[in-house]
Amino acid sequence: MNILRRGRLSEEPDEDITRFTSSMEADRRLFEADIEVDRAHVVMLREQDIINASDCAAILSGLEKIKADGISALDASYEDVHIALEARLIEMVGEDTGGRMHSARSRNDEVAACIRLSLRAELINLMEEMHDLISALISAASNHHDTIMPGYTHTQHAQPTTLAHHLLAHATALVRDIERITGAYAHTNLNPLGAAAFASTGFPIDRKMTTELLGFDSALTNSMDAVSTRDFMIESMSCFSNLMTSLSRMAEELILWSTSEFDLIELDDSYSSTSSIMPQKKNPDIAELMRAKTGTVNGALVSVLTICKALPYSYNRDLQEATPHLWRAADTTRSSVRMARGMVSTMKVKKENMKMSTEKGFMTATELADTIVRTTGIPFRTAHHIVGAVARSGKIPSLSDLDDISMNLINEKLSAKGLTEKDVKEALDPAANIMKRVVTGGPAPKETKRHAAALAKLVGNIADDIRLIRKKVDVASGKLEKACRQ
Ligand code: ARG
């Protein structure tokens, strides 16, 4: 007989109803966390004299056996892993002992604790993978401080830049993405245990102890809030969406850059597919899927937002429906980060094509206008007018072309106001354009080298932070292990 339903309910649900209700499939993600949560709870019950030492020992060894047997040994006809696990424990050690594990708690605080622990592990792994991606970008940039390439606005040739500058732009965005995840981590690693159904419990529990044993940073204070909220999930998933947006933009560029039209890079064969009919094809399928999976992650976020919207406090079963979206979003995001790293670190850069491409589209027009301003003292808007009129002719101008146009427009020759052939020649040189842009964050090699070094240092600090977080979690798990042995 179902240990949960036998009291209040007499009819058993049929298979169709059970399947509709069950979270067993998605709960695979929670099985190990549930054992940890059970162990910490049981140790605390013992310390507080809510259960006796021999029951505690029997429950803990039962849990160990259940862990070793794995989730497949549980009765899958139960509606979730929590109750299936308790049923198995009772079957193993008897109700007089196993039936005491669920004192002073509810599945509501239990499931919230499990999700938080599992998500915590996902976030730590994700941060490590992001760290590796950012490092790969910085290291790729280190080979390309002098690799001149076109910079685009509106996907039109705009101004020359370097590949290092472009790669570091992505690295910079990803640093913000990782910082946001640190924030989501802080709101995830909080202990809901002790909230029970929502009104806490009259048993003399010690919430601090479960907080410590499970490596949570602190306990959620209001017991109704603790079981009602999934805002930590939404926050993490928003971070995933933001990160996927960064990755999708990178993916889009890798796709564009590998076309015959751009022809700026070639992706490694391992990150390419071919056609079943066109033998010559090398397709950027991995990057395309990364672009598409952003939609999957965004969809998951919107699903959870919609599930949680307008839910009355406290726990509602609706919340169960949110959890699988979290795992789908986390898995998709993590694998995308790994793919991005692989593509960036293995792609072949076509330096010559990049350089040649900067000769097209009069990308030095801005620098020419700026040079005119600096040498002649005319206003920028006027210089913009003159260079724009020259550009209209489709010709890269000489000093005399510029003089002709300026005579027309302002009735003065620029050469008479101080502009020389040498100035024009230098302004029209893409490499010289880049060398001039030494302001903070600009593409001049001197500046991208400085920026890369600063980013590398920052990323080193991030790595230290991640190590500390992992260590804290490991120390707690050692403590729990020890407490279970005593
Ligand atoms: N499987 C449930 C979930 O994921 C566990 C909590 C069930 N609580 C309840 N009151 N029915 O939310």
Report whether 393 contacts 405 (CB < 8 A): no
Q: How does 330-366 read in b/e, with b if 16+ C-beta sit within 10 Å?
A: bebbbebbebbbbbbeebebbbeebbebbbeebbbbb
d(CA 256, CA 394): 25
Does the pLDDT value for residue 1 go beyond 80? Answer: no
Give the pLDDT band of residue 288 (cuts 50, 70, 90): very high
The yes/no answer on whether domain 118-191+231-357 falls in CATH 3.40.50.150 is no
- Which among 81, 103, 180, 118 is positioned nearest to 462, based on CA atoms? 180
Q: Kindly give the distance from the C-alpha atom of residue 107 to the centroid of ligand 1, in angstroms, as a whole number.
A: 6
CB of 191 shorter than 6 A to ligand 1: no
Predicted TM-score (pTM) of the model is 0.96
| CA-CA-CA-CA dihedral for 62, 63, 64, 69, to nearest 10 | 90
What are 365-408's pLDDT values in tens digits? 999 999 999 999 999 999 999 999 999 988 899 999 999 999 99
Report whether 424 contacts 399 (CB < 8 A): yes
Give the pLDDT band of residue 202 (cuts 50, 70, 90): very high
* Average confidence (pLDDT) over 259-287: 96
Q: How high is the pLDDT of residue 449?
A: 98
What are 123-132's pLDDT values in tens digits? 999 999 999 9
CATH, range 15-103: 1.10.275.10
Q: How high is the pLDDT of residue 11?
A: 86
Does the pLDDT value for residue 224 go beyond 80? Answer: yes
Q: How high is the pLDDT of residue 460?
A: 98
Q: Which of 111, 308, 314 to mutate to test the pocket of ligand 1 (most atoms within 8 A of CB)?
A: 111
What are 26-62's pLDDT values in tens digits? 999 999 999 999 999 999 999 999 999 999 999 999 9
Give the pLDDT band of residue 67 (cuts 50, 70, 90): very high
- Atom 2 of ligand 1, nearest CA residue: 320
* Average confidence (pLDDT) over 284-304: 98
Q: How high is the pLDDT of residue 7?
A: 86
Establish whether the linkage from the previous residue to 314 is cis, with ω within 30° of 0: yes
* Average confidence (pLDDT) over 278-294: 96
| Nearest ligand 1 atom, CA 81 | 1
